[in-house]
Amino acid sequence: MDFPESGPARRAPHLRSLRIWSDIHTWTSLICTGFLLLLCLTGLPLIFHHELNHALGYQPDLSKGPDGAPRVSLDRVVEAAYDRRPGEVIQFIGFDRDEPHLINVAMGRSIDSPYEENNLVAIDWRGGTVLEAPKPSEGPVAFLLKLHADLFLGLPGKLFLGLMAFCFLLAIVSGVALYGPFRGKLAFGTVRHGRARHIAWLDLHSLVGIATLAWMLVVGTTGMVNTWADLMLKLWQGGQLAEMTGRYRDAPPPRRLASLETVVSHARAAAPDMTLTLIAFPGSILTSRNHYAVFMAGASPLTARLLKPALVDGETGTLTELRDMPWYMQALMLSQPLHFGDYGGLPLKILWAILDLATIWLLVSGLYLWIVRRRRSVARAVAYPSRASADGEPAE
């Protein structure tokens, strides 16, 4: 954005403040623009990841399942998983929120093997039929998700993208600080088409930026929080989880695991108004070697994302403790679906996609305006070298 660059007015405190905000807006935008374009372009199809995976065949098809058939016991589900992949052990059992009859059983070589190496067994809860295995790590959607989440660099990639998200938030805040002084007495939405082309682009850039402000703040903040997921999980494991399982620290592991149906019935009795989301088997990353962790969630669209772990003794099947997760884990659980608009079904996803496209245009237009400004500055420095030096512009 251009401000007066000569004379006493330039040294006025409020103009000096505007110059600082302008520099912050320019450089934070330049630092993160390339990566934000990548994130917006990859994030656009990821908004519809569930629909795309179904259409491309990477999610099990439950449309031909036995409607009305009674659900089998969870112990039968465990047996079916072990029959499908003998020699492996169950780490987790997940219950799909969008497909209530689908159970995903994650199995590994050992109970503590890396979860990224797990194999999934999909089971139709109606009758216990083993389905074609889901392929969450295969296909174009998985490729885009990995690129979007960490640039294929693991935790360093996530933290780097978190830094880019922070720059994005600084660019938004500085843009808001500049909006009022820059627009002056112009009516909201005014686009000055009769002047130079870059003036019209600047007006449009400001209009789209202020119109998408709330959405960009939400997506930028949730994106930054999501990059800290691994660190938050480790903090929870070393904090609340260690405290909840402290008295079992020196206890031997279970000689024989309790019936999963018994384990879940005790967890449900302690939280009767909540739904089953995930079961972590004793020794896996989300629990201790002595406990099942049964993660329960609320019934409303908002509380369905907030998990409450019930720790159940792995040998006796009795409830040990039930607690709300700490605030930082709750913030993470709310951020993950909100980032992709996964709260209000297809209408909200379409709105998210439109706002994503608007942000792509905003980034491109900002880059165009910076290039125009640089060209004008260079041309001015060449034409008036002494003035450029006096004003603090480089004289080339």
Query: 136-176: per-residue pLDDT in tens?
Result: 778 899 999 999 999 999 999 999 999 999 999 999 999 88
pLDDT value for 12: 58
pLDDT value for 235: 95
What CATH number did the domain enclosing 81 receive? 3.10.450
| Predicted confidence (pLDDT) at residue 295 exceeds the cutoff of 70 | yes
Residue at which a domain ends, from 99, 134, 169: 134
For residue 257, is it within any domain? no
Residue at which a domain ends, from 134, 163, 192: 134
Provide the residue range defining the domain that includes 98: 59-134
Instruction: Kindly report which listed range (2-6, 120-124, 146-150) carries the lowest average pLDDT score.
Output: 2-6
Instruction: Identify whether residues 153 and 129 lie together within a single domain.
Output: no
Total domain count for the chain? 2
Tell me the C-alpha distance between 93 and 316, whole Å.
19
| Predicted confidence (pLDDT) at residue 198 exceeds the cutoff of 90 | no
Instruction: Identify whether residues 148 and 219 lie together within a single domain.
Output: yes
Instruction: Identify whether residues 28 and 67 lie together within a single domain.
Output: no
For residue 235, is it within any domain? no
Instruction: Identify whether residues 153 and 216 lie together within a single domain.
Output: yes
Instruction: Identify whether residues 76 and 211 lie together within a single domain.
Output: no
pLDDT band at 189 (very low <50, low <70, confident <90, very high): low
The candidate with the shortest Cα–Cα distance to 333, out of 357, 303, 363, is: 303
pLDDT band at 1 (very low <50, low <70, confident <90, very high): very low
pLDDT band at 394 (very low <50, low <70, confident <90, very high): very low
pLDDT value for 379: 74
Tell me the C-alpha distance between 141 and 47, whole Å.
10
Instruction: Identify whether residues 71 and 96 lie together within a single domain.
Output: yes
pLDDT value for 390: 45
Instruction: Identify whether residues 65 and 113 lie together within a single domain.
Output: yes
For residue 396, is it within any domain? no
Tell me the C-alpha distance between 153 and 146, whole Å.
9
Instruction: Identify whether residues 217 and 150 lie together within a single domain.
Output: yes
Q: Is 119 helix (H, G, I), strand (E, B) or coil?
A: strand
For residue 353, is it within any domain? yes
Instruction: Identify whether residues 381 and 350 lie together within a single domain.
Output: yes
Instruction: Identify whether residues 19 and 148 lie together within a single domain.
Output: yes
| Predicted confidence (pLDDT) at residue 215 exceeds the cutoff of 80 | yes
Counts of helices then strands in the chain (DSSP H, E)? 13, 8
All residues at 6 or more sequence positions from 91 whose CB lies less than 8 Å from its CB, including other chains: 106, 107, 108, 111, 113, 115, 118, 280, 281, 284, 285
Residue at which a domain ends, from 134, 155, 190: 134
Tell me the C-alpha distance between 308 and 323, whole Å.
6
Greater pLDDT, 45 or 98: 45
pLDDT (average), residues 376-387: 70
For residue 129, is it within any domain? yes
Instruction: Identify whether residues 149 and 26 lie together within a single domain.
Output: yes
pLDDT band at 386 (very low <50, low <70, confident <90, very high): low
For residue 293, is it within any domain? no
| Predicted confidence (pLDDT) at residue 387 exceeds the cutoff of 80 | no
pTM (whole model) above 0.75: yes
Kindly report, residue by residue over 251-278, the tens digit of the pLDDT. 888 889 999 999 999 999 999 989 999 9
pLDDT (average), residues 324-340: 91
For residue 249, is it within any domain? no
